[in-house]
Amino acid sequence: MKRKINGIQTLKRVCLLFVVFLLIMVAFNQYQYELYTRNFNRKIDSLISYIVEKYPETNQVDILNIITSESDYLNTLRDYGIDIDKDSLVPINDDYYVQFFVSNLILVSVFFALMMLVLTRYDKGRREEIEKITQTIEQINQHNYDLQIDDNREDELSILKNEITKTTVMLREIADNSLKDKLSLKTSLADISHQIRTPLTSVTVMLENLYDNADMEQTARLSLIRKTKQEMATINQLIESLLILSKLDSNTLSFKNENVKVLSLITTAIERVDIAAELKNVNIEIMGPNDITLNIDKKWQVEAMTNILKNGIEHSHEGSTININFSENKLFTRIDIQDHGLGIDQDDLPHIFKRFYKGKNYSKNSIGIGLALSKSLIEDNGGSISVSSQLNKGTLFSIKYYFMSD
In tens, the pLDDT along 143-180 reads: 665 655 555 555 555 666 666 667 777 777 776 776 76
Q: Which helix (H) or strand (E) is 168 found in, with range?
A: helix 156-212
- Cα separation, 396 vs 165, in Å, equals 47
* C-alpha separations of 255 from 158, 247, 298 in Å: 46, 11, 9
Q: Which of 249, 272, 307 is the last residue of a domain?
A: 249
Together in a domain, 117 and 165: no
Together in a domain, 371 and 285: yes
Together in a domain, 270 and 391: yes
Whether 154 and 11 have beta carbons less than 8 Å apart is answered as: no
Q: Which of 101-105, 150-154, 317-321 has the largest mean confidence?
A: 317-321
Together in a domain, 229 and 169: yes
Provide the domain limits for residue 35: 7-141
User: Would you say residue 278 has pLDDT above 70?
Assistant: yes
Number of domains forming the structure of the chain: 3
Determine the pLDDT at residue 237.
74
Higher pLDDT pick, 168 / 113:
113
Together in a domain, 60 and 193: no
Together in a domain, 182 and 137: no
Q: Which of 249, 280, 303 is the last residue of a domain?
A: 249
| % the chain with pLDDT above 70 | 74
Together in a domain, 11 and 114: yes
Q: In b/e form, how buried is each residue of 186-204, taking b as 16+ CB within 10 angstroms?
A: eebeebbeebbeebeebbe
Cα-Cα-Cα-Cα dihedral sign, residues 82, 85, 91, 95: negative
Amino acid at 182: K
Least confident of 47-56, 79-88, 193-202: 79-88
Higher pLDDT pick, 76 / 128:
128
Average pLDDT over residues 64-71: 66
Together in a domain, 193 and 316: no
**Has this prediction a pTM greater than 0.75?**
no
Q: Which of 141, 173, 200 is the last residue of a domain?
A: 141
Higher pLDDT pick, 154 / 125:
125
Mapped onto helix, strand or coil, the DSSP state of residue 107 is helix
Determine the pLDDT at residue 225.
86
Together in a domain, 319 and 342: yes
Together in a domain, 37 and 121: yes
Q: What residues contact residue 300 under an 8 Å CB cut-off, 6+ apart?
A: 253, 255, 377, 381
User: Would you say residue 373 has pLDDT above 80?
Assistant: yes
Average pLDDT over residues 121-130: 73
